[in-house]
Amino acid sequence: MHDDLEKILFTHEQIHQRIAEVAAAISRDYEGRELMLVAVLKGAVFFLTHLAEALTVPAQIDFLGIASFSPGRVLPGVVRISKDLDLDILDKEVLVIEDIVDTGLTLRYLLNILSGRQPRSLAVCTFLDKPTRRLVEIPVRYSCFEVPDRFVVGFGLDYNQQYRTLPCVGILRSHIYQGK
């Protein structure tokens, strides 16, 4: 799998260290409160588990599934919820856990839905951020790493359901991924 990467951007050690820093910042900010971590399936699962175990504040976890209406992502952001939350977020301190914010359209859709359920607070924590691709402004409160405008995989991020299990994050060779 590593051979399909043009370049490794972040090693497992760097990822661990950065997640610990972000977890410390979140723990400071939410001291004395209980968090509800809402992770977006499937990409954010690796990030969620590493982040959650490094938090020093109590946290519940739940999952949201997203299905794209647009195979090949020709129309980014045209999505729907394929698996809803099991828990009620009314009056909860909700932190949405994402794998990557790209155009921002997916998160805009999700944040609209979640804010309608009246959480006490609603914020975003993303593993990766591709700010140069943003089409809509998203209030990202916590981000581990910025990445260039290239297709990246690993540590939960996939291409065609592959590469999620790579322990590092890297740029996929462009002959494998043509398009973005």
* Nearer residue to ligand IMP within complex by CB, 118 or 174: 174
* Nearer residue to ligand IMP within complex by CB, 106 or 143: 106
Choosing from 62, 91, 102, 158, the catalytic residue is 102
Annotated active-site residue 102? The verdict is: yes
Distance CA(179)–CA(106), nearest Å, equals: 19
Q: How far is the CB of 171 from ligand IMP (least distance, A)?
A: 9
Bridge partners, 159 (sequence order) = 162
Question: Which positions touch ligand IMP (CB under 6 A)?
Answer: 43, 76-77, 98-106, 151-153, 157
Q: How far is the CB of 143 from ligand IMP (least distance, A)?
A: 13
Q: How far is the CB of 32 from ligand IMP (least distance, A)?
A: 31
* Nearer residue to ligand IMP within complex by CB, 104 or 119: 104
Catalytic residues: 102
